[in-house]
Structures are given as C-alpha cells and as structure tokens.
Amino acid sequence: MKRRTYILIPLLVFGALIAWRLGQKRADLAAQTAMRAARMKAPPLVVLAPVQVRDVTHTSEATGTVEAPFNVKIAPKVAGRVDFLQVREGDRVRKGQVLVRIDPSEVEANVQQAAASLAEAQYRLAQAQLNQGPTNVSVTTQLRQQEASVASAEADYRQVRTNYKAQLAAAAASVTDAQAKIDNAKAAIKSAQANLDNATTKYNRVASLYQKGYVAAQDVDDAKAAVSVQEAAVDIARGQLNSTTAQKDAAEQQASIVKEKGQADIEAARAKVDQAQASLEYAKANIIQKPAYQQSLAALRASVAAERAALRSAQARRQDTVLKSPLDGFVTGRYVDPGAMASAGQPILAVQFMKQVWVTIAVPEEIYARTHIGQPARVALDALPGRNFTGSIIQINPSADVESRQFTVRVIMSNAEGLFKPGMFGRVFIETDRVRDAVVVPREAVQRDRFGTYVTLVDRLSKAKRRPVTPGADDARFVAIEQGVRPGDRVVTMSAFPVRDGQVVRVGGRERRGGPPR
C-alpha cells in the first residue's frame, strides 16, 4: 500500500505541472494574438530616405598583383670568374653603381692583340701611301716617253716610205734611160751598118773600075779606107750597144735592190711603229693600273678600319667585365657568389625599380571598351587593410588572352613611401561610367511587381503613396529615376510590414541619406 502511495504522488505532481504549463502557454498565445492584432491595426514602422541629386557611377573591380615597372636581370656579356660581388637581396643600389666585376685577364689579352693588329695594318697603309707618289710619276713619264717613241717611229715610217718611193722612181728612170741608150745604140749600129754597106758597095764599084782602068789606085785606096772606117764605126756602135745593155742590166738590178731594200726598210719601220705602239699600250696599261692601286689603298684603309673596329670591340668587351646598375632600385635576386664562373648571358643579380609600381589586372571585353590611358583608379591592398590608394592606367594590352578573353591593364602608383612591394595582392576599382546630376533613390527603395516598378513615397502627414517610376542608370547604392519622383521627396527603404497605398506610417530610426547630394 505504501509502495503505491510513493508511486502515485510523483505522478500526480508531474500531471499538475503539465496542466499548469499548458494553461500558461494558452495564456501567452492569447496575449500574442492580441498584440499581433494590435500591431496589425497600428501604423507600420518604416525607414525613409530622401530623393537626391547626385552622380551615378559604375565601378569595375578586378584583382591584381603589384609589379615593378623595371625588373632587370644583370648578366655579363663575357664569361669569366666573378672577382667582385658584394650586394645582396634587399640592398639599395644607385644607377651607375658597380655591382659585379669579371676577371678581365683574357679580355685584356684580346685588347693587346687587337692593338697590335691595328698597328700592323696602319704600317702597311703608310708604306703603300709612300710608294704611291713615285709610282704615279714613273707611270706618267713612261707614258709620255712611249707616246714620243710612237710619234718618232711613225715619222721614220713615213720617211722610209717616201725614200722608197723616190729611190724606186730613180731606179725606174735609170732603167728607162738605159733602154733609151740601147735603142740609140741599135739605131747607131743600123746607121753604121748602112754606111758600111754603102762603103763596101762603093769600094767594090771603085775596085771594078780600077781593074778596068777607069779610076786611079788612089780612089780604090780611098774607097777601101772608107770601108775600114765604116767597119770601125759598126764595131764602135756594137760596143756602145753592149755598154748600154750592161748599163740597163745594172739599172734593173739596182731597181730590184732598191725595191727589196725599200720594202724591207718599210717593214722594219712598220715593226718599230708597232713596237712603239705596244710599248705605249703597256704604258697606258700601267696608267689603267692606277685605279687598281687606289683600290689597293682603299682595301688597306678598310683593313685599318676593320682592325680599329676590332680594337674597339675588344675594349668594349673589357668594359663588359664591369657590370653596373642600370637604374635606382633594390636587389631582389642574387644567383652567383664571388669566385664562381659566370657564363655569358647567365643572370648574376636581379634589380627592380620601385619608386613607382604597377598593379596588373585582367578585365573582360565590356570593361576594356570603357578604359583608356590616364584613367584614374583606386587600389586597395590586402597587406595594408583599411587604406585606399590612387593611381592611373598606364598600359592597356590591345590583344586579349585567347583562353580567358581578358585584357591586361596596368595601373601605376607612386611608391615614394616604399609601402608597396612586388608580389602584393590588391584590388583595383575603375570607374567605367558616370551619369552626372541624376535624381536618385537608394536601391532598397525600388520595388517591382506584376504592375511594374514603383517606390513608396511618404508625405508630410506620414501617409504612404505608391508611385510608379522609370528607373535609369544605377550603381552599387543608388538607382537613377528618370520619371516619377522629385528631389526632396521621401521614399520608404525599409519597413517591418508591407506598406499599403494610403496607409499612415510611423518613421523609425534615422533617415538614410547615403552621403551628401551633389
């Protein structure tokens, strides 16, 4: 019995508590229902914002990386051992400061060799120039001598031909004269023979008469003497013919000799003329060789110029053993230590210019079309939270990346304080459009339903009125209203319950203004 009593008492107490809790919940629910009904009948609480006149801006945001405008990898042009290298990462360097020296021993030997080659080329040129004057005088003198020899040979040739013609004419005249004498001798022989025949006939007639005694012996002797005289005359005439014939033969032989000798003399004179002309041509050939000599001098001058260029090249290579900083900046990389062998083109140091920095971003096509060189930009860096920095666009790549279809844009910022370091992550904000002096309302004030776009105005009597509007440009905070509201109107931006047209409202909190109107 006692045992049941112990069980029932707790059960009764627990049941009483449940009944009391249910009653309490019914009372609370009734109170809440009454309060809800009261609130539904009470004017709704709203937050208002004034209609303003201000600029509406479109701003594009892109992430990027801080870069140095000039990032120079300093590498030698000549290979060799690094003799001098003292700077390290983080060291500030000045433009023209000596950073690295390469062992110049081999390059110095090349400089000395080039200087010796230049001296030898200059000596050869000087020797050729010294020989140029005497050679030119000798060639000119030889030419004039050969021209005189040709003139003399031609004069001798003409004289030999003239003499030949005269001698040939004289020989021909001698032959003609001898022939005339022969003809005269033959005529004389005929005349003497006729006289002999006449004398013989007369003698025979006188001898016949003498035998008959008609003439004296003296007449016979006279006739006989006349025959003897005529015979002697015939002999003389024949002797004269033989003499003139011999003279003709001698004249003809002399004419042949004159002809042969004259032709030989003419050929000899012609040969002398040809020889003189050949010598003249040789002398002219020497004159023609003067341009070749000039070309030889020009070649020697070119050789001197080439050796001088080789010397300058060797001297430049010697200067290349000293590496200087090309800009003011900081050492950001050191890849070789002193004593190591450096190869031509192998970077030894990296130096970056940091008085100004770039923030490189990628923008889509629609933003690229609205950017231009010199356009201002705002930059926020994660490493410097809470601060904004100003810059301007300095570079725009006109070619997009074929994969991402993004255009590379660089914003330049002054780094006079040294706050920005290459590699920092940042966000860049670029204003791409601006509508000036627009009538705007906060974005939260614009509502849309099946009837269109509207805002809820509140008049001075705290009465709400629905007003259809025509929205225009917008930005992150405001919407431009082209028609439907006026500056100074108040619009509902926030309410605890939907506001009906014509309903009286209560203004709660402070009016949202969103910054001073422009």
Q: Is residue 26 part of a domain?
A: no
φ, ψ at 490 (rounded to 5°): -110, 135
Tokens of 210: 């003498």
Q: What is the CATH number of the domain that holds 164?
A: 1.10.287
Q: Is residue 27 part of a domain?
A: no
Sign of CA dihedral 477, 481, 486, 491: negative
CA distance 350 to 422: 13
Q: What is the CATH number of the domain that holds 93?
A: 2.40.50.100
Q: Is residue 15 part of a domain?
A: no
Smallest CA-to-CA distance from 23 within 31, 11, 12 is with 31
φ, ψ at 348 (rounded to 5°): -110, -40
Both 216 and 348 in one domain: the answer is no
Both 331 and 423 in one domain: the answer is no
Both 116 and 96 in one domain: the answer is no
What's residue 392's pLDDT? Answer: 94
Per-position DSSP letters for 176-218, written without gaps between them = HHHHHHHHHHHHHHHHHHHHHHHHHHHHHHHHHHHHHTSS-HH
**For the chain, what is the largest distance between any 2 Cα atoms, rounded to a whole number of angstroms?**
263
What's residue 41's pLDDT? Answer: 60
CB-based contact 311:118 (threshold 8 Å): yes
What's residue 510's pLDDT? Answer: 54
What's residue 358's pLDDT? Answer: 92
CA distance 487 to 505: 21
Smallest CA-to-CA distance from 68 within 337, 338, 330 is with 330
Both 124 and 95 in one domain: the answer is no
What residues have CB less than 8 Å from 19, skipping those under 6 apart? none
φ, ψ at 461 (rounded to 5°): -90, 15
Q: Is residue 358 part of a domain?
A: no
- DSSP helix/strand/coil, 338: coil
Q: Is residue 75 part of a domain?
A: yes
- DSSP helix/strand/coil, 351: strand
Both 310 and 165 in one domain: the answer is yes
- DSSP helix/strand/coil, 287: helix
Q: Is residue 409 part of a domain?
A: yes
- DSSP helix/strand/coil, 21: helix
Both 155 and 220 in one domain: the answer is yes
Q: Is residue 465 part of a domain?
A: yes
Q: How many domains does the chain have?
A: 3
- CA dist list (Å): 313 to 110, 114, 276, 306, 443: 10, 9, 55, 10, 72
What's residue 363's pLDDT? Answer: 93
Both 121 and 176 in one domain: the answer is yes
Tell me the residue type at 148.
A
**Of 260, 293, 317, which closes a domain?**
317
Q: Is residue 22 part of a domain?
A: no
Tokens of 293: 């000599």
Tokens of 35: 């309060």
440 exposure class (CB count in 10 Å sphere: 0-12, 13-18, 19+): buried
Both 284 and 374 in one domain: the answer is no
Both 349 and 406 in one domain: the answer is no
Both 343 and 428 in one domain: the answer is no
Range of the domain at 113: 107-317
Tell me the residue type at 58.
H
Both 161 and 217 in one domain: the answer is yes
What's residue 517's pLDDT? Answer: 40
**Of 257, 292, 317, which closes a domain?**
317
Q: What is the CATH number of the domain that holds 436?
A: 2.40.30.170
Smallest CA-to-CA distance from 42 within 503, 464, 494, 492 is with 503
Tokens of 17: 């508590």
pTM score over 0.95: no
CB-based contact 442:51 (threshold 8 Å): no
**pLDDT 10s digit of each residue in the chain, 518 long?**
556 666 667 777 677 778 777 777 877 777 677 666 555 566 788 888 899 898 888 788 899 999 999 889 989 888 888 888 889 988 899 999 998 988 887 777 777 888 888 788 787 777 777 765 555 555 566 667 767 777 877 777 787 778 777 777 777 777 787 778 788 877 877 887 888 788 788 878 777 777 877 777 787 777 777 778 777 877 787 787 787 787 777 777 777 776 777 777 778 777 777 877 777 676 666 555 556 556 777 777 787 888 788 878 777 777 778 888 988 889 988 998 898 888 888 998 999 888 999 999 999 998 898 899 999 999 999 999 989 999 999 999 999 988 889 999 999 999 988 899 999 999 999 988 888 888 999 989 899 988 899 999 998 888 989 999 999 888 878 888 988 899 989 998 888 778 888 888 888 755 555 544 44
- DSSP helix/strand/coil, 22: helix
What's residue 516's pLDDT? Answer: 43
Both 269 and 326 in one domain: the answer is no
How many CA within 13 A on the CB side of residue 493? 22
